Structure 1
Amino acid sequence: MEFHGQPHAEGKLFLCGLVLLALSFGYFRFNGEAEKSLVVIGLFAVGAILLYLLERTRRDSGFSENTARQRQVTLATKIKELEDSKTETLKIIHDLQLAKARLEEEKSKDEAMLASLGEALVVTDKAGKIRLVNQVFEQLLEWKLSEITGKHVLDIIPIQDEKGGMISLQKAFNLVLETGKKISVDADGSYYYVKKNKARFPVAITVTPIMLGKQIVGAVQVFRDVTREKEMDTAKTEFVSLASHQLRTPLSTVNWYTEMLLDGDAGKILKEQKQYLNEIYHANQRMVELVNAFLNVSRVEFGTFSVDPEPINIVEITQSVVAEMKPQILQKQLKIREDYENNIPLVPADPKLVRIIVQNLLTNSVKYTPNSGQIEVGVSLNRDSLVYHNKQPKRYIRITVKDNGYGIPEEEQGKIFSKMYRANNAKVKDAEGTGLGLYLVKAVLDRVGGMIWFESPGENQGTSFYVTIPVEGMQKKQGTRKLE
């Protein structure tokens, strides 16, 4: 038997046993009493050592059993902890699988919703780069998501006006991403999207910011093809134009005969009769104004109106319109403030069109401002263009009409330039409006290179309208009729 290092208790017992055996053999081998005495002493000594080692071995054996038992208990505890950890881990994995399944289900629902939308949708990040489009987008523009992901939305979707001129809405989209305000372009056929194959179609557009808390992280643009709507609108316009032309003659006849009766050309009339005739006359005048408005709209939409620019002073035209409105202003006891810059140059523009623009804005302001309210009218020269066409003028004239009147409800502001549309609060204040004035103003400005926009904090908080006319003026346009 070989031992390495210090022998264990068992090894020591074995050695003592060998010594004891040797001493016992020597006791019988020696004959002398002295030798035998020494052997007996050795036997007693070795026996004592053996007894000590046996006791030590017994105690060590007991200690080892306790240690082993403790280790078994510890091991069992660790095994139980591992089993518990395994159970918890499996539970977490199960919960994660359920959460993943729910997320996939929600994702499938979102994808199904996007696929079922009847309008095209494109999602961009804050830099304007495309992150997601739906199937309608791919069908209308013939682009696949894989082809355009990461590209700027304005690079993928060129925008044109009715004449095919390129239009940039970069500043408008930046406004959405910077201020968080929604912008809308109505279905009036003024904007056209260009497909991948270079074909184009008229669109109505709405761009809404994506908010994460208070931070703007991107935008969602929804648009639709309004070709069918434009065709129907054209048909309606043709009908209205025809009907309006047919109505002009009888209305003029009614107006002429009513004036003759009021002037006494057919004999003296009683006071009560005069009152009735006045009602007929004013009602007929409203009909004439409505017919003229319809005719103006049809001429603009068909492009049959003429533009005859000449050097004009926009300040003088504005002052003239204010003077014409003085009776209505005084009747409602409105305070009007006029602010005209001195450096306004003469502009080659059609004076009739400029007058129509200012008349519509000021008439609305007077009509929808309560008694004793305030109106501000101004003309200024600005050097930073807000007209986003290819040939941007470096300067433009800005006409401003502000009031502290009834305002425009926030939820209706996107429709304010739509044809025949009137805000609900406007209908309550004046039941006789046509809803054509602002539409006509915008339609004219779109076709002569100008622009119109407004600001209104909300209902009963006033409105500010702004019109820009390029300093370089309007281009001459041949037409069969002038606007009235």
Structure 2
Amino acid sequence: MIVSAAIAGLCAWSYITGADATNEHLFVPIIPGIFAAATFISAAVSYAIAPYHKLAMSCWLNYALCCVTTAVLVVATGGVHSPFMSLLVMLAPIAGVLGRQMVALFGVLAVAFAAQQIIMESTPVAQSLPIIAILAIGFCAGLPFWLRQSAAAHDAAKDRSYQELATKLDKAASTSEVVINAIGDGVLALDNNGAVRLINPAAQQMIGWGEQDAAGLNYKTVLKLQTSTGTDISDSTDPVMIALSSNKPVKDDTLSIQTQSDKSFLAYISVSPISTDDTHDGVIVVFRDITAERHDERQRAEFISTASHEMRTPVASIEGYLGLALNPQTASVDDRARNYIAKAHESAQHLGRLFSDLLDISRADDHRLKNDPHIVDVISFVGDIVEGLKPRADEKGLTFIYRPTHNEENEDGAKQVSPIFYANVDNDHLREIVQNLIENAIKYTPAGSVAVDVTGDEKRITISVSDTGIGIPREDQAHLFQKFYRVDNSDTREINGTGLGLYLCRRLTETIGGRLWVESEYKKGSTFFVSIPRADSVTAQRLIKESAFKASIAATKAQQQNQPLAQNTAQVAPAVQSSSDPEPQPIDTPPATPDAQTLYANTPLSSIEANPEQYIKQLRQQVSLSVPPRDPPK
């Protein structure tokens, strides 16, 4: 601003006093004077109206205008011989103070001035070199200021970044502390050595340890983990120790926690490692009391089990009598009544299956579900199930495919040989799993196809059931295997279901050591997968022989126990009564026993079917059966 004001003032003074010998060296032409006046006005206005945080831009603008004005003045007053050349040299160091933008601007201006003098003014290069050197020296004099200012600006930027980061961290720490103190679950922060670094108020209240007392102690002193029966756990089953050693999250809902007052409560424990890049900074332990939750679950399970057991007998009776009513040999009804009875019989069968599923789920939840593994050829086993369910698919007009036997010939016409997949699993459990998945595929496929496949590798066998049905929305897939969960949309409301089938399949799959999952796309279809362990051929053949040998021994023992006692007693020929022997006297005879055909004439058929062993035992006790002995098997 001062330079432009001085140039404008000299221009005015030159025209007022005239160009004489005394002021010819300070004469400023009109054009540089106009440039200087405009620069002064612009600098004054920008400085006056620019806000504080925009002053740097105002300085850059004023410096650029001042450099241009000075360059125009130098060119107009003689170029390299101008008496105002010193002003241009004085502006060079200032560029370094203002930053790299002004350094670049002044460099361009200096190069343009030198080119103008050499090309347009035909100034010899030898005469231009000293001036260019002087400009370069002035320019270099400003470089230290520029470098120092750049370093200072860089340090200031780093300081601002650090300050902002510290502010954010403090804010995040405050927010995290508020959240941790507000949640109802207990939270412990442990370092790599298992020492307690943080304990929130909920944890203090649940286990009875204060923050000052627990700080620095080993977690085993503060958080006493035990089994559900109250015995201490080992390091191999300690979820905290496992997470510390493996640096992986661990969850457990089978343990209990002993408080400082020697009380215990069942707990759900989640341990998550604190990891940053490759470093391990400890773990976060979150736990909550699930005693009341487990008590409610136990009561619900007991009620379901009791109700299902009590309801199964009358439902079986209803189903049996309805079956008799539908039998033309035992009842005569018209077609209209037969239709009503058939619907009632179908509903009774549905109730029977429901109660059976509820009982199985109750046993699974209480860990009372039996697991009796036997070797099975999975392809043949699943094929039998598919064959039994084929009529249901045919009723809906679905294409039903069993892939292991669907394409028995390859493209060359040669017959393909399917691999043999052996599995050592409970046959009843596997049958119920596969049958339930296929029935669901048929039920939820209005039109299209259902395909069942069996594949595998050396260790696992995978059974897949695919359909082209209604599919499952993505948000429902995570909850699909929960108890009583059903997808609720317009496609499923018209289809009957209880939400128990897939949950039971999951529990049965876990019982036989398998895994169950689903892949589905809404409106396009679903594929359910069951993965079970595979038994190698040698092991399978050995187990088959062992099972056959045990069955043979059991059959032999059962046959020996069922043989009449008379077979093992020496038979003596009856003595011939002589005429001199006295006549036999009457003896007391036991009361007559009812005939086997009329003993249970008034007993409902369903009751006998529900518990046949009880009635057979009573029948043997009350009715004497004369059965000739059989020869032992040869």
Residues 96, 304 of structure 1: CA spacing in aligned structure 2 closer, same or farther, 3 A cutoff? closer
Residue 378 in structure 1 maps to residue 431 in structure 2: no
2:304 alignment partner in structure 1: 240
Pairing of 1:280-359 with structure 2 (within 5 A)? 280-340=344-404, 342-359=418-435
Tell me how many residue pairs correspond in the alignment.
Answer: 337
CA distance in 2, matches of 1:451, 1:324: 25
Residues 231, 397 of structure 1: CA spacing in aligned structure 2 closer, same or farther, 3 A cutoff? farther
Residues 167, 260 of structure 1: CA spacing in aligned structure 2 closer, same or farther, 3 A cutoff? farther
Query: Considering only aligned residues, what root-mean-square deviation do their CA atoms show, in Å?
Result: 5.2
1:404 alignment partner in structure 2: 468
2:534 alignment partner in structure 1: 471
Deviation at 1:409, TM superposition (A): 1.8
Residue 365 in structure 1 maps to residue 441 in structure 2: yes
1:108 alignment partner in structure 2: 174
CA distance in 1, matches of 2:519, 2:287: 24
Deviation at 1:286, TM superposition (A): 0.9
Deviation at 1:421, TM superposition (A): 1.0
TM-score, L = length of structure 2:
0.44
2:332 alignment partner in structure 1: 268
* Matched position secondary structure for 2:496: coil
Deviation at 1:471, TM superposition (A): 2.1
The percentage of aligned residue pairs carrying the same residue is 25
Deviation at 1:206, TM superposition (A): 12
Residue 440 in structure 1 maps to residue 513 in structure 2: no
1:254 alignment partner in structure 2: 318
Residues 94, 368 of structure 1: CA spacing in aligned structure 2 closer, same or farther, 3 A cutoff? same
Residues 396, 371 of structure 1: CA spacing in aligned structure 2 closer, same or farther, 3 A cutoff? same
CA distance in 1, matches of 2:466, 2:319: 35
Deviation at 1:278, TM superposition (A): 1.5
CA distance in 2, matches of 1:380, 1:133: 51
CA distance in 2, matches of 1:356, 1:115: 48
CA distance in 2, matches of 1:433, 1:291: 13
* Matched position secondary structure for 1:424: coil
Structure 1 contact 204–226 (Cα < 8 Å) conserved:
no
* Matched position secondary structure for 2:478: helix
Deviation at 1:225, TM superposition (A): 5.5
Residues 435, 226 of structure 1: CA spacing in aligned structure 2 closer, same or farther, 3 A cutoff? farther
CA distance in 1, matches of 2:165, 2:512: 58
Deviation at 1:328, TM superposition (A): 1.9
Gaps of 5+ in 1: 1-76, 124-131, 149-155, 174-182, 208-219, 384-394, 477-484
Structure 2 contact 426–512 (Cα < 8 Å) conserved:
no
Structure 1 contact 344–397 (Cα < 8 Å) conserved:
no
* Matched position secondary structure for 2:297: helix
CA distance in 1, matches of 2:504, 2:340: 33
- Tell me which moved more, 265-274 or 299-308: 265-274
CA distance in 2, matches of 1:421, 1:193: 27
Residues 339, 271 of structure 1: CA spacing in aligned structure 2 closer, same or farther, 3 A cutoff? closer
Residues 104, 206 of structure 1: CA spacing in aligned structure 2 closer, same or farther, 3 A cutoff? closer
Amino acid at match of 1:250: P
1:461 alignment partner in structure 2: 524
Structure 2 contact 470–523 (Cα < 8 Å) conserved:
yes
Residues 261, 194 of structure 1: CA spacing in aligned structure 2 closer, same or farther, 3 A cutoff? closer
Deviation at 1:398, TM superposition (A): 1.4
CA distance in 1, matches of 2:348, 2:341: 10
Amino acid at match of 1:469: I
Deviation at 1:439, TM superposition (A): 1.0
| Match of residue 230, structure 1, among 294, 301, 319 | 294
Structure 1 contact 420–436 (Cα < 8 Å) conserved:
yes
Deviation at 1:452, TM superposition (A): 1.3
Which is bigger in relative contact order (C-alpha 8 A, separation at least 6)?
Answer: 1
Deviation at 1:202, TM superposition (A): 6.3
Structure 1 contact 122–221 (Cα < 8 Å) conserved:
yes
Per-residue CA deviation, residues 22-66 of structure 1 (Å, 9 max, x unaligned), is: xxxxxxxxxxxxxxxxxxxxxxxxxxxxxxxxxxxxxxxxxxxxx
| Match of residue 341, structure 2, among 261, 277, 289 | 277
TM-score, L = length of structure 1:
0.56
Residues 427, 307 of structure 1: CA spacing in aligned structure 2 closer, same or farther, 3 A cutoff? farther
2:477 alignment partner in structure 1: 413
1:117 alignment partner in structure 2: 183
Amino acid at match of 1:348: N
Deviation at 1:378, TM superposition (A): 1.3
Deviation at 1:119, TM superposition (A): 4.9
* Matched position secondary structure for 1:401: strand
* Matched position secondary structure for 1:438: helix
Deviation at 1:319, TM superposition (A): 0.9
Deviation at 1:352, TM superposition (A): 0.8
Deviation at 1:331, TM superposition (A): 2.2
